[in-house]
Amino acid sequence: METVGWSKPEHERAGTPLLVMMHGYGTDEQRMVTLFPDLPKEFTCAALRGPMVIGDHYGWFLLDYFLANDFADVITTTSKVLAWIDSVKGNHSSVSLLGYSQGMAMASTLLRLRPSAFAATVGLSGFVLENELLALSDSFDFPPPFFWGRDVADPVINGEAIAYTREWLEKNVALTARTYPGMGHRIEAAEMADVSTFLRHYVLR
């Protein structure tokens, strides 16, 4: 990845758990950088910038109002992220994922492609991709821990996407699901407090 925001300088990262963070559609890594103070200090957080230019900002793959996508774009981008993770993971005790909005689609797809590679996964105000090829390859030896946070009245993620996301998560992962009334399509302090508790339990215990 060409642009990465880090929570720790390079000399402080060795041996720490890595949290790979992915922003939403039409924004950039700075949206994730602002969350660093709300996460456990034991983690090294890496906020990646999506490789696709969306106006003046960035995304991970093209997406329309109905969340339709070109799966070839998805695979191309996830392959780039996996290659980047491979290049740095040897310096860390574990790797976890956090994705917001479209970033949750990325995080869950990375988990589906490498089910045993990640200590924990967090998805915020987002969705899991509904794709036949991915569904055919879904295979988990054990349910990986997954935190799903959202507002049930989120105006951005449509009902069909939420229904599939819930079905997939309940079938495949050890799910911690939390809702935050009135939050909308945002990330708020109460949610981040729950995310931190989840990460401490599954990664730092």
Q: Give the mean pLDDT of the chain.
A: 93
Q: Are 103 and 21 in contact (CB under 8 A)?
A: yes
Question: What is residue 72's predicted lDDT score, i.e. its pLDDT?
Answer: 81
Confidence class for position 189, pLDDT limits 50, 70, 90: very high
Tokens of residue 205, six digits: 């215990």
Question: What is residue 64's predicted lDDT score, i.e. its pLDDT?
Answer: 63
DSSP run (H or E) holding 81: helix 71-88
Q: What are the tens digits of pLDDT across the range 55-87?
A: 889 999 877 665 566 788 888 999 999 999 999
Tokens of residue 4, six digits: 């990465």
Q: What are the tens digits of pLDDT across the range 108-134?
A: 999 999 999 999 999 999 999 988 888
Q: What percent of the chain is modeled with pLDDT above 70?
A: 96
Give 122's strand partners: 98, 147
**Average pLDDT over every residue of 25-29:** 93
Q: What are the tens digits of pLDDT across the range 30-58?
A: 999 999 999 999 999 999 999 888 888 99
- Domains observed in the chain: 4-204 (3.40.50.1820)
Question: What is residue 66's predicted lDDT score, i.e. its pLDDT?
Answer: 58
Residue 97 neighbours by CB under 8 Å, 6+ apart: 19, 20, 22, 107, 110, 111, 118, 120, 121, 122
Would you state the torsion angle of the CA atoms of residues 144, 10, 49, 94, taken in this order, to the nearest 10 degrees? -10
Question: What is residue 61's predicted lDDT score, i.e. its pLDDT?
Answer: 84
Question: What is residue 67's predicted lDDT score, i.e. its pLDDT?
Answer: 59
Q: What are the tens digits of pLDDT across the range 120-178?
A: 999 999 999 988 888 877 888 899 999 999 999 999 999 999 999 999 999 999 999 99
Question: What is residue 15's predicted lDDT score, i.e. its pLDDT?
Answer: 97
State the Cα–Cα distance between residues 110 and 105, nearest whole angstrom. 9
State the Cα–Cα distance between residues 21 and 78, nearest whole angstrom. 13
